[in-house]
A and B are shown apart, each in its own frame.
Chain A
Amino acid sequence: GAVVSQHPSRVICKSGTSVKIECRSLDFQATTMFWYRQFPKQSLMLMATSNEGSKATYEQGVEKDKFLINHASLTLSTLTVTSAHPEDSSFYICSAPRSESGREQYFGPGTRLTVT
């Protein structure tokens, strides 16, 4: 069964509003989680690293004030897309390393965001 969940699976919002996406590790603790963005038929782009107890680390070109990340607990990270615009429409996926080695990532099922 799934070991990483995301909620919601799909969301439609209007331009200018904010949307929160949750990522949960179901039967393990994750001090680090990752957020990716994927456009149709394209690769996954790492957006940021979510760190429990400290600030997120953002990849170059990702606006930290637009994509707010909060690692609220050892099993929950949230991504808030603020003041969403149509170009933010995408598939957002989180992942968490299950083992200490971190080499095997478990991905959530993704959240399809559509901004109208």
Chain B
Amino acid sequence: GQSLEQPSEVTAVEGAIVQINCTYQTSGFYGLSWYQQHDGGAPTFLSYNGLDGLEETGRFSSFLSRSDSYGYLLLQELQMKDSASYFCAVSSNQAGTALIFGKGTTLSVSS
């Protein structure tokens, strides 16, 4: 079977740092991606890890440990606009295109 586990909700204040963890168990693994989705909107790509280690993109960083089947998304200097749902997704085919999504983490940022 395929499963990705991530916390359902996280709350934080502006300026804080938040880490959203994702553990996965999938029949195929070709990379871990993170997507952001605001209510009623389209998911937007944040980050991708194909190899172990840390990827940094501005305020967002993502980490992968393939041996632990684990990754995380780190959000720094939180802003109110970061309130959204965050999904980890495993690429289940070699092309990296077919995505299996986690259930999503709702992040609420307050002032």
- Name A46-99 residues within 8 Å CB distance of B: 46, 49, 93, 95, 97
| Interface range on chain A (Cβ under 8 Å from partner) | 20 to 34
Q: Which residues of B contact A32 (CB under 8 A)?
A: 95, 97
The distance in angstroms between the C-alpha atoms of A107 and B101, with both chains bound, is 13
Establish whether residues B96 and A102, one from each chain, have CB atoms under 8 Å apart when the complex forms: yes
Establish whether residues A103 and B33, one from each chain, have CB atoms under 8 Å apart when the complex forms: yes
Decide if B41 is an interface residue (CB 8 Å cutoff): yes
Establish whether residues A49 and B43, one from each chain, have CB atoms under 8 Å apart when the complex forms: no
Establish whether residues A44 and B98, one from each chain, have CB atoms under 8 Å apart when the complex forms: no
Q: How far is the CB of A48 from chain B (nearest CB, A)?
A: 10
Of all chain B residues, the one with the shortest Cβ separation from A4 is B42
Establish whether residues A109 and B41, one from each chain, have CB atoms under 8 Å apart when the complex forms: yes
Contacts A103-B33, A107-B44 given; indicate if A34 touches B104 (C-beta within 8 A): no
Decide if B66 is an interface residue (CB 8 Å cutoff): no
Among B31, B44, B50, B100, the residue within 8 A (CB) of A46 is B100
